Structure 1
Amino acid sequence: MPSQKPDTLAQASNTWLKSYYFVRFAVSAAWVALAFTVARTMPPLAAIMLVAYPAWDALANFLDAQRTGGLSRNKSQLLNFVISALTTLAVAVALTRSMNTVLAVYGVWAVLSGVFQLITAVRRWKTNGAQWAMILSGAQSALAGLFFVKMAGGIEDIGITNVAPYAAFGAFYFLVSAVWLTVSDILRKSPRTAS
């Protein structure tokens, strides 16, 4: 009986992660769809969405950490929560200056949150497996952030559609992670069913 406990805990953790990844995919996909359609011609909506995106990331990291042992046991998510909350405020201030400033703030945030996401995924690989998509997502986020900072220093017009592809890749990786965990769980259970 005690030998089944770690397996039961891992299964409960995977159940949470699958739901979490699917929800993050849905929210990001909806954000991207709005960014490419309605928000691109409605600056007030775009501004609200640009502030809401890091705020949602902060909330999501907080909830995920709470469900998996708390912020004190998940230092990378604690840092991600803090940096995303600060980014929310920084974006609100940057909107009063220019979209280039907003993009620069997003760039710094993408680098830092990408690194923290990568660390979280590496740590989770031991307990949950199937984290390669989250590792790729974290690395790509950091690279995209550097690109944002460079683009922010340019002279071209910047808008919410410059940020939307970044969110779209995030949505894709969350979906892949959710599906991969689902398939892994099915494959893990099938030998037991057969025996």
Structure 2
Amino acid sequence: MQHQSIDHRRVASSAAWLRNYYVIRFAVSAAWVVLAFTVARQAPMIAAVMLVAYPAWDALANFIDAKRSGGLGRNRSQLLNVVVSGLTAIAVAVALGRGMNSVLAVFGVWAVLAGLFQLATAIRRWSAFGAQWAMILSGAQSALAGAFFVTMASSPAVPGIADIAPYAAFGAFYFLVSAIWLTVGNARRGSTSAAI
């Protein structure tokens, strides 16, 4: 009984961290989207900084989450996401000198890879926490959006940061849904545990 209680507390603590992590990811992504549709549309330098910062933030966030969730060695999909997102931030900085079509192509390749890594992470976490269906959908949609970005990058039209913002908006939405779903799941588990 004591062992079960310790396991329950450990799972509850990890679930609380994951919920808070999703809330932070939602808040940062939502703020990025608002800036992309407002200030950054008229300020190329701000847009450039934001385009580099987005994958860099993803790398940092995945690193912190993986370290908090057992380390990078136990979270290989997040380790790969850290590496790919970090390299993407550098690639975006380089691509900015070649034009927004190149930036969109880089974002497209990154979205495909990051989406697949996120999908793998969510599937791995499903058995421990549940409430990962939104992250699975998010990963799959990210991969599809990335393929669309790559196709769009080869068109003669010059894209802008506002063309990438809907991708970030969907990501923010899925993080919010996941945070809410985990909160509901934790409350149910808590009430069940109290009843026992």
Partner SS for 1:19 = helix
- The residue type paired with residue 142 of structure 1 is A
Distance 1:31 1:182 in 2: 24
Map 1:9-158 to 2 at 5 A. Answer: 9-158=10-159
- The residue type paired with residue 100 of structure 1 is N
Q: CA RMSD in A?
A: 0.9
Partner SS for 2:156 = coil
1:6 to 1:193, Cα distance in 2 relative to 1, 3 A = closer
Number of corresponding residues: 195
Distance 1:15 1:194 in 2: 20
Distance 2:5 2:127 in 1: 17
What residue in structure 2 maps to residue 4 of structure 1?
Answer: 5
Distance 1:4 1:152 in 2: 53
Structure 2 residue 168 is the aligned partner of structure 1 residue 167: yes
Partner SS for 2:163 = helix
Residue 9 (structure 1) shift: 1.3
Residue 194 (structure 1) shift: 4.7
- The residue type paired with residue 150 of structure 2 is V
Distance 2:192 2:123 in 1: 27
Percent identical residues: 66
What TM-score results when the alignment is normalised by the length of structure 1?
0.98
Q: Which runs of 5+ in 1 are unaligned?
A: none
Q: Which runs of 5+ in 2 are unaligned?
A: none
Q: Which moved more, 1:96-105 or 1:4-13?
A: 4-13
What TM-score results when the alignment is normalised by the length of structure 2?
0.97
1:7 to 1:193, Cα distance in 2 relative to 1, 3 A = closer
Cα deviation per residue 1:79-133 (whole Å; 9 max; x = unaligned)? 0000000000000000000100000000000000000000000000011110000
Structure 2 residue 185 is the aligned partner of structure 1 residue 187: no
Cα deviation per residue 1:111-168 (whole Å; 9 max; x = unaligned)? 0000000000000001111000000000000000000000000011210001000000
Distance 1:107 1:160 in 2: 13
